[in-house]
């Protein structure tokens, strides 16, 4: 592998942040003092971390009342609501970063969500499990059933995932939405994947932005 002075060698591994590799990448991306909205933020662990370590102005949306309760008890401004209705109220460009972490595959209208994220945020971060990973393909090929892997552990009738997508699928959607991909990160476990990500990556993190007029 060759590197030039202008592109220093990136570490091949990411540390966990709050037990998650995608959080570690998001933690790297978001700069100090940014205004951040996390969609489907759960109990707001990531937002709290970003507020404490990066001094961000943190907001979240979460549908589960129990999780919202715990998020607010942490001191993070989260409101209980559906991702779509939540986004609709915000003015254009209200946030520096809008984050959707491992939730896109659970949304009813992923394209609409991505479109709205790019309207509300100057940058968009989407992390999702890659359905094109070789283990998923192998599982389906050998079992003849809906794939079950460590990444997709659910029986099909219990899965919260209602839309399955691969790295290539997401690239295509970003293209359809005329979003510019600023960075791509691919993970297999804690290892960064650089080669054949659609086959080798378990998790993808995209940093995108809408081309501004």
Interface residues with another protein (CB under 8 A)? 57, 59, 65, 68-81, 86, 89-91, 94
Q: Which is nearer to another protein, 19 or 91 (CB)?
A: 91
Nearer to another protein, 59 or 133 (CB): 59
Shortest distance, position 201 Cβ to another protein, whole Å = 35
For another protein, the closer of residues 14 and 98 by Cβ is: 98
Q: What is the smallest separation between the CB atom of 119 and another protein, expressed in angstroms?
A: 13
We find the least distance from the C-beta atom of residue 76 to another protein, in angstroms, to be 7
For the CA atoms of 139, 142, 146, 147, the dihedral, rounded to the nearest 10 degrees, stands at: 0
Query: Least distance (Å) from another protein to the CB of residue 113?
Result: 16
Distance from the Cα of residue 122 to its chain's centroid: 16
In the complex, least distance from residue 71 CB atom to another protein, rounded to whole angstroms: 8
- On whether the CB atoms of residues 167 and 132 are closer than 8 A, the answer is yes
Q: How far apart are CA 139 and CA 124, in angstroms?
A: 32
Taking the C-alpha atoms of residue 154 and residue 147, their distance in angstroms, rounded to an integer, is 9
Within 74-162, residue ranges assigned H as helices are 83-88, 110-120, 134-143
- For another protein, the closer CB: 90 or 134: 90
Q: Is 135 exposed, middle or buried (0-12, 13-18, 19+ CB in 10 A)?
A: middle
**Residue number with CB closer to another protein (12 or 73):** 73
């Amino acid at each position: 592998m060759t590197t030039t002075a202008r592109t220093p060698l990136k570490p091949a591994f990411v540390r966990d942040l709050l037990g998650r590799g995608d959080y570690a990448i998001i933690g790297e991306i978001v700069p100090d003092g940014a205004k951040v909205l996390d969609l489907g933020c759960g109990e707001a662990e990531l937002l709290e971390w970003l507020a404490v370590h990066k001094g961000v102005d943190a907001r979240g949306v979460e549908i589960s009342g129990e999780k919202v309760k715990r998020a607010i008890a942490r001191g993070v401004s989260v409101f209980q609501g559906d991702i779509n209705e939540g986004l609709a109220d915000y003015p254009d460009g209200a946030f520096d970063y809008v984050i959707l972490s491992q939730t896109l595959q659970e949304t009813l209208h992923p394209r609409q969500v991505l479109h709205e994220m790019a309207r509300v945020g100057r940058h968009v971060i989407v992390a999702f499990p890659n359905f094109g990973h070789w283990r998923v393909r192998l599982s389906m090929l050998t079992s003849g059933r809906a794939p079950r892997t460590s990444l997709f552990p659910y029986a099909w009738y219990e899965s919260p995932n209602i839309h399955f997508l691969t790295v290539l699928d997401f690239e295509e959607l970003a293209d359809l939405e005329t979003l510019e991909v600023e960075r791509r990160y691919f993970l297999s476990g804690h290892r960064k994947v650089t080669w054949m990500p659609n086959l080798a990556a378990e998790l993808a993190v995209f940093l995108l932005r809408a081309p501004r007029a």
